[in-house]
Amino acid sequence: MSREQLKKELEARLDRSKMPTHIGIIMDGNGRWAKNLGKSRLKGHQQGARGIKAIIRYANAIGIKHVSLYAFSVENWSRPAFEVYALMKLLKTYLIQQRNELHEEGVVFRLVGRRDNLPAEIIKEAEISTKLMQNNTGLNLNLCFNYGGRAEIVDAVKKIVQSGISPDKITEETIRQNLYWPEIPDVDLMIRTSGEMRTSNFHLWRCAYSELYFTPVFWPDFDEAELLNAILAFQGRERRFGLTSAQLGSQES
């Protein structure tokens, strides 16, 4: 069976009434994919970047409203300098080359993460993309770059302290409103590729009740059919949010 045939078969099984609103993806395995093929890590990152285009287009087509991609963590600065430089260059190229096409497809773009130590040209290109697509009504692409879940919470707490809010007035909603982009909803489905089974400091606040899906597939090989497998797994789970199955049943009746 071809990948296209498999995709159509999986599509037929989708329950369109139970689609996740927000999917987070930890795009892992670029380096190992490249190593297995005798290629450089940079080639792996380049292939992974090309794969983003197909996944975003397809997620938009099937009605997913938010996709958060973990592209570069605050811990990734400790990688070899040449690899960090290559990832910065790759991001800039992506922002420039994909901007108009994403806009034509109705995508909304956000760069999520700390900006204080990012190159000025990346911030500039990200702001151009965000402004261009701000009034679109399609999928929200949240590109998490120089991002860390703990860092986001720390930065939110700093903003709250600086605003002078009394400690007894601080609620979960207060913290949510001070995250990098408060309009981004909680993550429903968190996907990690490459076989690793951890969340690696990604969207810690928004993933409190996420369904976790781990696949051995390396990110460069993660295609539309793999995304559908993850969504179908999500649809097969019961999300209770602290309630019992009986309580959920009574709410639905």
Euclidean distance between CA atoms 111 and 123, whole angstroms: 9
Burial status of residue 233 (CB atoms within 10 A of its CB: 0-12, 13-18, 19 or more) = middle
pTM: 0.93
Could you tell me which residues come within 8 angstroms of residue 47 by beta carbon, excluding any fewer than 6 positions away? 30, 33, 34, 220
Structural domain contains residue 11: no
Euclidean distance between CA atoms 54 and 101, whole angstroms: 12
pLDDT (mean) for 148-157: 98
- What are the backbone angles phi and psi of residue 112, rounded to the nearest 5°? -110, 120
pLDDT for res 159: 97
Structural domain contains residue 169: yes
Structural domain contains residue 5: no
Structural domain contains residue 46: yes
Number of domains in the chain: 1
- Average pLDDT of the chain is 94
Strand partners, 14: none
- What pLDDT, in 10s, does the model give residues 163-190? 999 999 999 999 999 999 999 999 999 9
Structural domain contains residue 43: yes
pLDDT (mean) for 41-59: 95
Structural domain contains residue 2: no
Of the listed 36, 60, 76, 135, which one is catalytic? 76
Of the listed 28, 60, 140, 178, which one is catalytic? 28
| Confidence grade of residue 1 (pLDDT, cut at 50, 70, 90) | confident
- What pLDDT, in 10s, does the model give residues 52-73? 999 999 999 999 999 999 999 9
The reply to whether 221 belongs to the active site is no
> Is the CB of residue 92 less than 8 Å from the CB of residue 134?
no
Of the candidates 152, 155, 142, 134, the residue with the CA atom closest to the CA atom of residue 71: 142
Which amino acid is located at 26 in the chain? Answer: I
Euclidean distance between CA atoms 24 and 154, whole angstroms: 21
CATH code of the domain containing 51: 3.40.1180.10
- Six-digit token string for 86: 């290559």
8-state DSSP, 200: T
Structural domain contains residue 13: no
Structural domain contains residue 9: no
pLDDT for res 218: 98
Residue range of the domain that includes 244? 19-252
- What pLDDT, in 10s, does the model give residues 200-214? 999 999 999 999 999
The reply to whether 76 belongs to the active site is yes
Euclidean distance between CA atoms 231 and 181, whole angstroms: 25
